[in-house]
Amino acid sequence: MKISELGEFAFIRRLASRFSQDLPKDIQGIGDDCAIIPYLDHTSLLITTDLLIENVHFIRSKISAQDLGYKSIAVNLSDIAAMGGCPLYTLISIGLPSDIDVEWIDHFFDGMEELAKQENVLLLGGDTTFASEIAINFVIIGKIETSLIKKRSQAKAGDIICCTNNLGDSGAGLKIILEDLPLTDIAKQLIQKHNRPFPAIHEGQWLASQNGVHAMIDVSDGIDSDIRHIMEQSHCGAVIDLDRLPLSADLDQIAKLYNWNAAEIAATAGEDYCLLVTIDPIEYEKINSLYNQTFKKPLFKIGQITDQANKLSYLKDSFPVQLQNRGFDHFKK
């Protein structure tokens, strides 16, 4: 069987069934945004790694070296944010073709350093190798008070599903890049959202401190995929109301111009790197109002967790609908 038939997520399940059996009970391996290892004084270490490959995750001529450096560490930090943790240390392994200018590499590190400094993340090491195309891999180590960790497995039937920011801008930016569309001001803003995502580290830590927040994940593959990860780990279902997905004015405008289905892009395109959380319905109003005071933006209510395991439904104008696309999977196209 080819891996394209299996798909990325079945491949990961296959790995987990082989390697997760013998882990000590208090260590959590494959299955969440980070691995969790108990550390000192009721704290745990969080460890995550992500790989970015030229012509798979980015096109060299379509992103500045500085933005690529920023994005590469941002997408990794986002997985620490997704557990509610505080990032501390990083290692970077990098594969480079011989014809890369040293100035390009300096600019890459400028972008990476900007975000690392801002979030007090220290670079401790890595590895360097020749490669026929650019390959970038970060490992991030963070920590969190163990009782505050928010896992994909903690959703409960009846929870309100919320996201912390607009959805679909990054996906629209990618469409503009891939379809070589005119670079209007709006187009440039959307490309910027795709090239420089901001990891929701502070939002994640705040949400982790709230008992009423149950499951949490970052939106990397699109909410269609990411809510399925929560459903699988929490043995539940979900209903998402497409009319409630928060869309930016930029996405709205460009979708009208090109006749795109903005809600579909928002649900499936991914790389928004905001957080998707499930919240106890009794606590939602209180948590949303405190969150609003702190971050000057709401927790956007987009759906509800159900007790129907693995059943994901979408509503449009209050009627059930099917999406044309699915969230992102590296092997299933």
Positions that interact with ligand ADP (CB under 6 A): 12, 15, 30-33, 50, 79, 220
Return the residues of window 219-248 that contact Mg ion according to CB under 5 A.
220
Partner in contact with 15, chosen from Mg ion, ligand ADP, none, beta carbon below 5 to 8 Å by kind: ligand ADP
Min dist. Cβ of residue 219 to Mg ion (A): 8
Return the residues of window 24-53 that contact Mg ion according to CB under 5 A.
33
Burial class (CB in 10 A: 0-12, 13-18, 19+), 185: exposed
Partner in contact with 50, chosen from ligand ADP, Mg ion, none, beta carbon below 5 to 8 Å by kind: ligand ADP
Residue closer to ligand ADP (CB basis): 15 or 56:
15
Q: DSSP letter for 10, please.
A: H
Partner in contact with 299, chosen from ligand ADP, Mg ion, none, beta carbon below 5 to 8 Å by kind: none
Residue closer to ligand ADP (CB basis): 12 or 100:
12
Min dist. Cβ of residue 329 to ligand ADP (A): 9
Residue closer to ligand ADP (CB basis): 79 or 159:
79
Task: Quickly tell me which residue has 């000057």 as its tokens.
Answer: 296
Instruction: Show contacts of 33-40: CB within 8 Å, 24+ apart.
Output: 33/79, 33/80, 33/82, 33/83, 33/152, 33/217, 33/218, 34/79, 34/80, 34/82, 34/83, 34/85, 34/142, 36/83, 36/149, 38/146, 39/143
Beta strands 237-241 and 160-163 are unpaired
x/- site string to Mg ion, residues 70 to 99, per CB under 5 A? ---------x--x-----------------
Where are any strands of DSSP class E within 156-274?
A: 160-163, 213-218, 237-241
218 binds Mg ion per the rule CB under 5 A: yes
